[in-house]
Amino acid sequence: MKLGSMRGQMGRVTAIATLGVAGFCGVAACGAAGQASSQPRPPSAAPTGSTGMARDIARIAVGNDGLTILNNGDGWAVLAYCDPSTVSGRPHVGTPVSASCGINYSDGSVWLQKVTVTFDSHDSAVADGTGLGNELLPPASG
């Protein structure tokens, strides 16, 4: 097999895995990608229940809030989709809020992980992290 076609197949595998993660979420609006700004941004002013909070947690996971981008030891989170039905509650000062999220890392791996975020009295995220989770797709090799 030629190298070019192998790269094409890896791209398709990654795209299929990413779509699978998006399908797990069931709502396209609960995802976030890349780091557009390093400026902290409070959670959506009027999130639509758990869907808005899932979107905020996904945005925080990929670094779009001023916190460090989540990392799995081999890569940084570049795309995240969080399931609104798994959001643990509304943010209260010092009380963590969590959701089950599909996270695509820069090394090509895709993980299903619980992302936990703690907010301050100004509704700004002050800490985030993930549980070990389950690897859905291993890192792209070579």
pLDDT digits (tens, 9 = 90+) for 32-69: 655 444 444 454 444 458 999 999 999 999 998 878 88
Nearest to 100 by CA among 130, 76, 75, 79: 130
pLDDT tops 60 at residue 97: yes
- Domains of the chain, by residue range, sit at 3-137
Token output for 36: 């557009």
Whole-structure pTM value:
0.69
Q: Quick check: helix, strand or coil at residue 10?
A: helix
Which residues 6+ apart lie within 8 Å of 9 measured at CB?
none
